[in-house]
């Protein structure tokens, strides 16, 4: 039985959202939401019965908003809206992201400003609870007027059109609805528009990228500490006095984590009086670089969490005043810009990690065997592993180009500035996967380097990390087929083990 997700509209936490992203859940909506939902739906019904034009109720959409629709065609208007907008393309979004989209759409509609009836929200809840996930193509949204195409594919399933996945099997929409105990819906005034408008796809993709970045960050902090010990680096740069006089919160926390990890290392004690004055920046400036990444992650998380709790469709219903107001909450510029910032952090985590790998394999700088293997020449060791890391880090530099600075007008220039939030957020998954590969290579290389320092031992905490690595990847005594080793180490990075290891019960930027 999936765990219960108590959904209080407007009060979702990042922990709630991570849970919905990582595993199936059973949504239980706060009962206090229903009176607000009913009041908004009644406001829509009442205004739709009048003669005056109200956008989204009895008009066309976009540039066609000047077209009045007869009262007896309002239900057909909503159906045609959904079907005409379901023109996405590309690979399907993964079930985890679709589940998160559904949770976000439920939370938004249940705020009581969208004007949908209770059965529409209950149908979405049933989909989540039955594990029925609409098949949503990943491409086709410009992140303005909402994520129209992907949300139309989601909404079409409610009408019995399209396809959905159930336990990995693709079913026709009507068959999938039956598995959830549902029949195709007939939408009332404004309901199709409320389902299609909104930034839920962009936000779900951004949150999935954030959660992946958290796991990669924790692994990279651990890898950086392990690499430093393997290369006889100083821990003086982690001294809190250095961080305090600058005052950057992420830097302070990153230095504290790094210092905690290396504390008590016999390897460190063995060279405490050596004549090396300074280490390369990828070792010495870890608090500054990783701390900056941590601060950016915290900023992005705040934007994504606010958007997850937001009402982002249009027009909006204010039942107390009996009004429907047309605005622009569907424009996902906040998500786009925050996703662009997060992309920089993900790229920099990988870039710094790759530079440490380059140091580790360079015998002139590391004082370790060339390419971290005995009999270099006969063995190539980590030579091409570092090349792979370089390829991944370089790819991320291109992917980090900001998406939010781009805009192409749509809908006959009615929608003349768009956010590109969906792409800004979607590429985060590829970037996090690339950086996970880089950090996985560093963990393997750093563990190899530490073993070459025997009989000296690293710190107790880093020995714990070494044990976790060695459960996945054994010491490289001679050349072997390394792709399975990389895959296993990457799985460890993506698993969240390092986040738990460092005590990130919440988010890595939270707490002292």
* Residues that are catalytic: 55
Name the token pair of 420.
């590109």
Q: How far apart are CA 224 and CA 290, in angstroms?
A: 10
Q: How far apart are CA 383 and CA 374, in angstroms?
A: 13
- Asked if residues 262 and 235 have their Cβ atoms less than 8 Å apart, the reply is yes
CA 266 to chain centre: 38
Let me know the angle formed at the C-alpha of 252 by 441 and 219, rounded to the nearest 5 degrees: 20
Residue 396 — φ and ψ, nearest 5°?
Answer: -65, -30
The set of residues, in sequence order, having a beta carbon less than 8 Å from that of 423 and lying 6+ positions away, is 139, 141, 143, 403
Q: How many CB atoms lie within 10 A of CB 45?
A: 15
The set of residues, in sequence order, having a beta carbon less than 8 Å from that of 413 and lying 6+ positions away, is 63
Residue 112 — φ and ψ, nearest 5°?
Answer: 85, 30
Q: How far apart are CA 242 and CA 251, in angstroms?
A: 10
**Residues counted in the chain:** 512
87-104 burial, b at 16+ Cβ within 10 Å, e below that, comes to ebeeebbbbbbbbbbbbb
Pure H helices in 168-248: 173-179, 191-196, 200-230, 240-244
The closest of 502, 426, 483 to 212, measured between CA atoms, is 426
Q: How many CB atoms lie within 10 A of CB 175?
A: 13
Query: For residue 129, how many C-alpha atoms fall within 13 Å in the half-sphere facing its CB?
Result: 18
Looking at the DSSP assignment, which residues form a beta bridge with residue 132?
Answer: 166
Q: How far apart are CA 91 and CA 345, in angstroms?
A: 26
Residue 377 — φ and ψ, nearest 5°?
Answer: 110, -65
Let me know the angle formed at the C-alpha of 441 by 232 and 270, rounded to the nearest 5 degrees: 15
The closest of 380, 491, 474, 385 to 438, measured between CA atoms, is 385
Q: How many CB atoms lie within 10 A of CB 137?
A: 17
Q: Which helix (H) or strand (E) covers residue 20, if one does?
A: helix 14-22
Q: How far apart are CA 452 and CA 465, in angstroms?
A: 16
Q: How far apart are CA 455 and CA 327, in angstroms?
A: 68
The closest of 360, 234, 358, 238 to 290, measured between CA atoms, is 238
């Amino acid at each position: 039985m999936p765990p219960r997700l108590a959904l209080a509209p407007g009060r979702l936490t990042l922990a709630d959202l991570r849970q919905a992203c990582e595993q199936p859940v059973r949504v239980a909506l706060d009962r206090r939401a229903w009176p607000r939902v009913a009041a908004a739906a009644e406001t829509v019904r009442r205004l739709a019965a009048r003669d005056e034009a109200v956008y989204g109720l009895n008009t066309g959409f976009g540039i066609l908003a000047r077209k009045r629709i007869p009262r007896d065609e309002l239900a057909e208007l909503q159906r045609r809206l959904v079907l005409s907008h379901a023109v996405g393309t590309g690979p399907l979004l993964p079930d985890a992201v679709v589940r998160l989209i559904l949770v976000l759409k439920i939370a938004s509609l249940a705020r009581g400003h969208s004007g949908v009836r209770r059965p529409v929200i209950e149908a979405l809840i049933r989909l989540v609870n039955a594990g029925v996930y609409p098949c949503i193509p990943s491409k086709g949204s410009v992140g303005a007027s909402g994520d129209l195409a992907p949300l139309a594919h989601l909404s079409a399933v409610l009408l019995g059109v399209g396809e959905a996945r159930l336990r990995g099997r693709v079913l026709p929409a009507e068959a999938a609805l039956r598995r959830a105990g549902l029949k195709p819906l007939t939408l009332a005034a404004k309901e199709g528009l409320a389902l299609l408008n909104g930034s839920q796809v962009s936000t779900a993709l951004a949150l999935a990228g954030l959660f992946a970045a958290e796991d990669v960050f924790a692994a990279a902090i651990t890898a950086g500490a392990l690499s430093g010990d393997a290369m006889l680096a100083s821990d003086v740069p982690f001294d809190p006095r250095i961080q305090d006089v600058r005052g950057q919160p992420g830097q302070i926390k990153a230095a504290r984590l790094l210092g905690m990890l290396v504390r008590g290392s016999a390897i460190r004690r063995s060279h405490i009086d050596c004549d090396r004055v300074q280490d390369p920046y990828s070792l010495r400036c870890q608090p500054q670089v990783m701390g900056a990444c941590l601060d950016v992650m915290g900023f992005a998380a705040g934007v994504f969490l606010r958007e997850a709790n937001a009402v982002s469709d249009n027009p909006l219903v204010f039942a107390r005043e009996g009004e429907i107001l047309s605005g622009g909450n569907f424009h996902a510029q906040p998500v786009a810009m925050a996703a662009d910032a997060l992309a920089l952090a993900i790229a920099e985590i990988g870039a710094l990690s790759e530079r440490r790998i380059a140091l580790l394999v360079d015998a002139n700088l590391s004082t370790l065997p060339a390419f971290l293997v005995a009999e270099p020449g006969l063995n190539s060791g980590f030579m091409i592993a570092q090349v792979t890391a370089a390829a991944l880090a370089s790819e991320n530099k291109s992917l980090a180009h900001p998406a939010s600075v781009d805009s192409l007008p749509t809908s006959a220039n009615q929608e003349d500035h768009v956010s590109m939030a969906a792409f800004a957020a979607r590429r985060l998954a590829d970037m996090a996967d690339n950086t996970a590969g880089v950090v996985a290579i560093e963990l393997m290389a750093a563990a190899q380097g530490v073993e070459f320092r025997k009989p000296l031992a690293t710190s107790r905490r880093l020995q714990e990390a070494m044990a976790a690595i060695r459960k996945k990847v054994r010491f490289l005594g001679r050349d072997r087929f390394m792709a399975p080793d990389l895959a296993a180490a990457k799985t460890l990075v993506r698993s969240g083990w390092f986040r738990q290891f460092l005590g990130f019960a919440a988010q890595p930027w939270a707490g002292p």
